[in-house]
Amino acid sequence: MDKVKKIFGGDTRQLGMIFALVALIIFFQIWTAGLTLTPDNVINIFQQNSYILVLAIGMVLVIIAGHIDLSVGSVAAFVGISVAIAMRDWGLSWWMGILFGLALGALVGAWQGLWTAYVGIPAFIVTLSGMLLFRGANQYVGKSNSVPVSDDFQVIGGGYLPEVGPDTGYNNLTVLIGLLLAAGVVYGSVRSRRALVKLGADVEEAWVMWTRIALICAAIIGATLLFGSGRPGTSFPIAGMILALLVLLYGFISNRTVIGRHIYAVGGNRHAAELSGVKSKKVNFLVMMNMSILAALAGMIFVARSTASGPADGVGWELDAIAAVFIGGAAVTGGVGTVVGSIVGGLVMAVLNNGLQLKGIGADATQMIKGLVLLVAVAFDVYNKSQGRASIIGLLTRNFRGGRPGGDDAPPPPSAAVETTPTSETIRQST
Amino acid sequence: MSTPSNSAPGSPSGDVPSGTSPTANVILEMRDITKEFPGVKALSNVSMVVRRGEVHAICGENGAGKSTLMKVLSGVYPAGTYDGEIHFEGQLSEFHNIRDSEHAGIVIIHQELALIPEMSIAENIFLGNETASGGVIDWMATRVKARELLARVGLEEEPDTKIREIGVGKQQLVEIAKALSKDVKLLILDEPTAALNEGDSQHLLDLISGLRSKGVTCIMISHKLNEIEQIADSITIIRDGKSIETLRVKEDGVDENRIIRGMVGRDLESRFPDHTPQLGEVFFEVKNWTVRHPSVPDRLVAKHSDFFVRRGEIVGFAGLMGAGRTELMRSLFGRSYGTYVEGTIVKDGREVKLRTVSDAIEAGLAYVTEDRKTLGLNLLDDIKRTTVSARLSRITRGFVVDEREEYNYAESYRKSLRTKAPNVDEGVAKLSGGNQQKVVLAKWLFTEPDLLILDEPTRGIDVGAKFEIYGIIQRMASEGKGVILVSSELPELIGLSDRIYTISEGAVTGVLDREQADQESLMRLMTRRTHGGSHATDAPRASA
């Protein structure tokens, strides 16, 4: 187990999720007698879930910052119908339609960000309002009708990488991208290791790195061959490409950029962040706005895949996205979570859904199983914290006794949790 | 309870006639109370005797153990978690929670009021003690009783008024009314006047003497020695977790100086690294700095304060709890506390306006908070991310953080401050208090400040780490930075500072050079009253 941890990094939570995902795939592969890992099915999983995964990327940032967004399904639906109508009535081309949709998403996001960040209304309320507001707006704009979209727009949801080059039996572009990705992993690992050595830092042993590289590359190439060997005309879906680019982009933003750091800082301890010069209102605004832009994108991908925009698009998406984020290891209290984790969490739900569907399990049982999976995943997290590592919540509340700085002249006892009780005790006395 | 057969001889139960023994005059005796927290002995063998119908003050420096003692008495720390005995009304009492002690007639009013702002005065008075039959509240009776109680404390407000609509002085009176509703025999007040202006304070003190004449015994913790001198009958002094002495105010002719001597009477050990100050020119000046309380608009937390700092100088700020030191420093640091009223900051000969924390950091200020875990650190972060977090721009290209530089800087600060951690990837939550403080110091040193404001930099830190932090502070000064040191530990201030300002009730009450400063002179300036009260000029509420 120690070796396994070394290879994948010490984060047991995320490690657990990745193993759960792999185990789930193997389980369904056996149970469905090989139907799970067929090219068509894997392509299908990606196409059916790409819009939820796009939402999960935005949602994890919202949740890290300590908020929630309930409006994403309605925003997606509103943008979807607006884009469909704009293209039909104003004659916008497909790319102008996309730009229009993203701009509309930004506008919606600015609206919600304004109320959340600058007026100070909890995001739960703002986005609950937005959920109603934009659902209604979808039906108002579309007059509760379905509006079809053109073929070239449909590519972003239902399209595949094109066939180019000689006939190899595989989709050449898919294979090429897979190989490039694998090469990138090797190059990146070696380079960062070299940099660390130069700094004189402790580095992992070489076999650890090479084993990890080998495993990741095997997974990439396996997936590449799977995607590339589908029916002629199918290959890695465009929606999957969009998703992959977003994962790379947002993974980078959350880890390596100033705004990314600030999101974690605000979610982890807003007061400390503000006293370090972080403008928490701006951070909250941007996070909420970004969520709506991604919701707009998700809405357009969905409309493109289903060839038309309708009044019931996006119902319940927010819950799928939120579930993916929490299964992926984010904390309700904020400050914790990763983009990759949320994608893994979303894939766990997707594979579960798909496998149960393949076996012909009804929607009723499927929902119950998904509900339990969410509970078990988070329970696992809570259990982890109660074992060994101190609970973060406990660490924080310990210091809230007294309230005002200097409220207590006792020396700070490590077991001071008791001291939070006097006020509540006074209130509750003699019932 | 015991069976009737063995209750007769020598039983200390309630049927002992009063006046037969000296203990009849004693309402409370605490014997050899010892309370330990892991690693800290907060109280050791504290004893005190409170006579019936007196106002008994408890005095001591911050951290001496006064509040801990009161928490032992009121059952916040249940019987069994401390050693020693509490005798209340002649009976050995073991309180397991606050309800037990309240049942016996001991009511504690904390410095932080336990009132619910959105509920009415009457509802608050009877909260948890409702006048009800079968769970249904009798509002008529509640209001009538509330009105009686309000009359007893001299508060002219309707029982239906919400708590948030009355000032903090009146809220304090509601707390007392609530205590009276419980047939209180011993009322404990923890810093009752700390948040009040002078008019309200005086009214409260009058009320306390009124209660005394009606037979209610009071224990009062206060830092305001003038108030204690005015109202207390006896004073127990606690120092370093030990009870030093009990003074009878009238019999012993106690005055403020006598109390101060009792509070500080300990040796100043030489536990500071050697340091020769090299003072440069004045580079940081604050003039007429005035700030309002963020939520109580008629209270000024900083009043027309003037001070300056030279390059290479360590300037101490002394003041008792609630004097407004933290509030002053935070208001200077990008107005991160309170509402700015007036005043100027001059740095390097030019006036600077620091409206936000980033302005302040940009101008070369750094503020290390007293509340490390709630205001200083993101406990979810690791050492390296924390180290660079206050000035990410130093290691970014465009918007991208250079992780190599991040690692380099974090590592070099870890080495130079000798932070004990396996590597800079370690989570800050796992570090000890002293090492966490070093990480916070690293975070602010990384911003390359000219002026380093340290608010209680050694609070909750063991002795060894303290010594190291003193060394770091002196090194900063030697490098030509100005250092402001806010501390409640007078020996620390005297040992480190080149000059010490004293603050009382939000105003600078004096300044002493290193040679002049000793604990008694500081304590005298720290407890000096500032005339004019804490009212803003446009105070809307007259005291009741």
- The secondary element (H helix, E strand) that includes residue B78 is none
Residues A209-244: tens digit of each pLDDT? 888 888 888 888 888 888 888 777 778 888 988 999
Q: Where are the alpha helices (DSSP H) in B455-532?
A: 463-478, 490-496, 519-526
Distance in angstroms (rounded) separating the CA atoms of residues B478 and B156: 59
Per the domain annotation, does A98 fall within a domain?
A: yes
- Chain A nearest-CA residue for B323: A406
- Chain B nearest-CA residue for A408: B67
8 Å CB contact of A431 and B369: no
| CATH number corresponding to B282-526 | 3.40.50.300
Residues B426-465: tens digit of each pLDDT? 888 888 778 889 999 999 999 999 999 999 888 767 666 7
Kindly list the residues from chain A whose CB atom is less than 8 angstroms away from the CB atom of residue B318: none
8 Å CB contact of B401 and A392: no
Integer angstrom CA distances of residue A123 from A63, A65, A337: 10, 11, 18
Between helix A363-386 and helix A12-31 the angle, nearest 10°, is 150
**3 state SS of B299:** strand
> In this complex, which of A271, A405, A415 lies closest to B370 when CB atoms are compared?
A405
* A347 & A412 share domain: no
* A412 & A283 share domain: no
Containing domain of residue A125, as a range?
2-159+254-384
Please give, rounded to a whole number of angstroms, the shortest distance from the CA of B114 to a CA of chain A.
Answer: 5
pLDDT at A393 over 60: no
| CA dihedral sign of residues A135, A137, A143, A145 | negative
Distance in angstroms (rounded) separating the CA atoms of residues B487 and B455: 7
CATH of the domain at A18: 1.10.3470
Distance in angstroms (rounded) separating the CA atoms of residues A56 and A328: 10
Distance in angstroms (rounded) separating the CA atoms of residues B187 and A92: 78
Kindly list the residues from chain A whose CB atom is less than 8 angstroms away from the CB atom of residue B71: 410, 419, 422
Residue with tokens 């984010």: A330
- Chain A nearest-CA residue for B337: A275
Strand partners, B86: B30
8 Å CB contact of B64 and A409: yes
Q: Is there a common fold for B21-105+185-266 and B282-526?
A: yes
8 Å CB contact of A423 and B62: no
- Chain B nearest-CA residue for A388: B430
Q: What is the token pair recorded at A16?
A: 């657990």
Judge whether A382 and A376 are in contact, CB under 8 Å: no
Architecture of domain B21-105+185-266: 3-Layer(aba) Sandwich (3.40)
Kindly list the residues from chain B whose CB atom is less than 8 angstroms away from the CB atom of residue A256: 400-401, 403
- Chain B nearest-CA residue for A252: B400
8 Å CB contact of B407 and A410: no
Kindly list the residues from chain A whose CB atom is less than 8 angstroms away from the CB atom of residue B460: 411-412
- B448-484 in b/e burial notation, b at 16+ Cβ within 10 A? ebbbbbbbbbbbbbeeebbebbbbbbbebbeeebbbb
Strand partners, B503: B319, B508
Q: Identify the CA nearest to B423 among candidates B414, B432, B413, B436.
A: B414
Residues A91-135: tens digit of each pLDDT? 889 999 999 999 999 999 999 999 999 999 999 999 999 999 999
Q: What is the token pair recorded at B48?
A: 């005190």
- A292-321 in b/e burial notation, b at 16+ Cβ within 10 A? bbbbbbbbbbbbbbbbbbbbebbeebbebb
Distance in angstroms (rounded) separating the CA atoms of residues B236 and B246: 4
> In this complex, which of B76, B375, B393 lies closest to A272 when CB atoms are compared?
B375
- Chain A nearest-CA residue for B357: A277
* A32 & A113 share domain: yes
8 Å CB contact of A277 and B356: yes
8 Å CB contact of A201 and B423: yes
- Name the range with the highest mean pLDDT among A66-80, A245-259, A331-345: A66-80
8 Å CB contact of B326 and A426: no
Integer angstrom CA distances of residue A88 from A85, A306, A308: 5, 16, 11
Kindly list the residues from chain B whose CB atom is less than 8 angstroms away from the CB atom of residue A413: 37-38, 40, 42
Between helix B519-526 and helix B256-264 the angle, nearest 10°, is 130
> In this complex, which of A256, A400, A414 lies closest to B401 when CB atoms are compared?
A256
Please give, rounded to a whole number of angstroms, the shortest distance from the CA of B103 to a CA of chain A.
Answer: 8
Per the domain annotation, does A406 fall within a domain?
A: yes
For chain B, which residues make up each domain, given as ranges? 21-105+185-266, 121-183, 282-526
Judge whether A103 and A92 are in contact, CB under 8 Å: no
Q: Identify the CA nearest to B225 among candidates B512, B505, B511.
A: B505
- B185-210 in b/e burial notation, b at 16+ Cβ within 10 A? bbbbbbbbbbbbbbbbbbbbbebbee
Distance in angstroms (rounded) separating the CA atoms of residues A261 and A247: 17
Judge whether B198 and B534 are in contact, CB under 8 Å: yes
Per the domain annotation, does A394 fall within a domain?
A: no
Kindly list the residues from chain A whose CB atom is less than 8 angstroms away from the CB atom of residue B377: 269, 272
- Chain A nearest-CA residue for B377: A272
8 Å CB contact of B399 and A406: no
Q: Please count the other Cβ atoms lying within 10 Å of the Cβ belonging to residue A360.
A: 6
> In this complex, which of B98, B114, B390 lies closest to A277 when CB atoms are compared?
B390
Amino acid making up residue B78: P
Q: Where are the alpha helices (DSSP H) in B284-418?
A: 325-332, 357-362, 383-388, 403-416
Helix, strand, coil shares of chain B as percentages rounded to 5? 35, 25, 40
* A301 & A415 share domain: no
- Chain A nearest-CA residue for B367: A275
> In this complex, which of A259, A399, A429 lies closest to B373 when CB atoms are compared?
A399
Distance in angstroms (rounded) separating the CA atoms of residues B21 and A114: 72
Residue with tokens 């300002």: B501
8 Å CB contact of B62 and A409: yes
> In this complex, which of A390, A410, A431 lies closest to B65 when CB atoms are compared?
A410
Kindly list the residues from chain A whose CB atom is less than 8 angstroms away from the CB atom of residue B367: 275
- Residue B453 has φ and ψ, to the nearest 5°, of -100, 120
Judge whether A83 and A91 are in contact, CB under 8 Å: no
Beta strand pairing call for B499-504 and B482-486: unpaired
Cα of A157 vs its chain's centroid, Å: 18
> In this complex, which of B127, B326, B460 lies closest to A405 when CB atoms are compared?
B326
Q: What is the token pair recorded at B438?
A: 């070093």
Please give, rounded to a whole number of angstroms, the shortest distance from the CA of A258 to a CA of chain B.
Answer: 6
Gyration radius from chain B CA atoms: 26
Predicted pLDDT at B374? 84
pLDDT at A391 over 50: no
Per the domain annotation, does A278 fall within a domain?
A: yes
Distance in angstroms (rounded) separating the CA atoms of residues A76 and A82: 10
Predicted pLDDT at A290? 97
8 Å CB contact of B40 and A413: yes
Kindly list the residues from chain B whose CB atom is less than 8 angstroms away from the CB atom of residue A404: 112
Please give, rounded to a whole number of angstroms, the shortest distance from the CA of A207 to a CA of chain B.
Answer: 22
8 Å CB contact of B358 and A279: yes
The answer for residues whose C-beta is within 8 angstroms of residue B11's C-beta and 6 or more apart is: B2
In three-state form (DSSP H/G/I as H, E/B as E, the rest C), the secondary structure along B22-60 is HHHHEEEEEEEEEEEECCEEEEEEEEEEEECCCEEEEEC
The answer for residues whose C-beta is within 8 angstroms of residue A106's C-beta and 6 or more apart is: A289, A292, A293, A296
Distance in angstroms (rounded) separating the CA atoms of residues B455 and B59: 24
pLDDT at A281 over 90: yes
* A147 & A38 share domain: yes
Q: Please count the other Cβ atoms lying within 10 Å of the Cβ belonging to residue B304.
A: 17
* A15 & A150 share domain: yes
- Chain A nearest-CA residue for B444: A276
8 Å CB contact of A274 and B429: no
* A107 & A11 share domain: yes
> In this complex, which of B326, B376, B407 lies closest to A201 when CB atoms are compared?
B407
CA geometry: angle A250, A137, A81, nearest 5 deg: 65
CA geometry: angle B464, B470, B474, nearest 5 deg: 150
The answer for residues whose C-beta is within 8 angstroms of residue A231's C-beta and 6 or more apart is: A39, A40
Predicted pLDDT at A402? 30
Predicted pLDDT at B146? 92
Please tell me which residue, A195 or B498, carries the higher pLDDT value: B498
Predicted pLDDT at A421? 32
Per the domain annotation, does A167 fall within a domain?
A: yes
**Euclidean distance between the first and the last CA atom of chain A, given in angstroms as a whole number:** 52
* A184 & A139 share domain: no
Predicted pLDDT at A422? 34
Kindly list the residues from chain A whose CB atom is less than 8 angstroms away from the CB atom of residue B459: 412
Cα of A133 vs its chain's centroid, Å: 24
Distance in angstroms (rounded) separating the CA atoms of residues A214 and B455: 52
8 Å CB contact of A425 and B99: yes
8 Å CB contact of A418 and B65: no
Residues A201-211: tens digit of each pLDDT? 667 777 878 88
Please give, rounded to a whole number of angstroms, the shortest distance from the CA of A284 to a CA of chain B.
Answer: 17
Residue stretches of chain B with pLDDT short of 50: 1-21, 267-269, 532-544
Q: How many CB pairs under 8 A join A and B?
A: 184
Residue with tokens 């005291």: B543
- What's the structural domain count of chain A? 3
Amino acid making up residue A215: L
> In this complex, which of A199, A277, A410 lies closest to B361 when CB atoms are compared?
A277
Per the domain annotation, does A405 fall within a domain?
A: yes
Per the domain annotation, does A331 fall within a domain?
A: yes
* A221 & A329 share domain: no
Judge whether A60 and A267 are in contact, CB under 8 Å: no
* A329 & A357 share domain: yes
- Chain A nearest-CA residue for B422: A202
**3 state SS of A78:** helix
- Regarding an ipTM greater than 0.90, the answer is no
Distance in angstroms (rounded) separating the CA atoms of residues B289 and B301: 10
Kindly list the residues from chain A whose CB atom is less than 8 angstroms away from the CB atom of residue B65: 409-411
* A182 & A307 share domain: no
Q: Across chain A, what does the average pLDDT equal?
A: 82
Per the domain annotation, does A389 fall within a domain?
A: no
> In this complex, which of B40, B400, B408 lies closest to A411 when CB atoms are compared?
B40
Residues B65-91: tens digit of each pLDDT? 888 899 899 888 998 889 999 999 888
Predicted pLDDT at B99? 85
- Residue B33 has φ and ψ, to the nearest 5°, of -75, 125
- Chain A nearest-CA residue for B222: A409
Predicted pLDDT at B47? 92
* A24 & A173 share domain: no
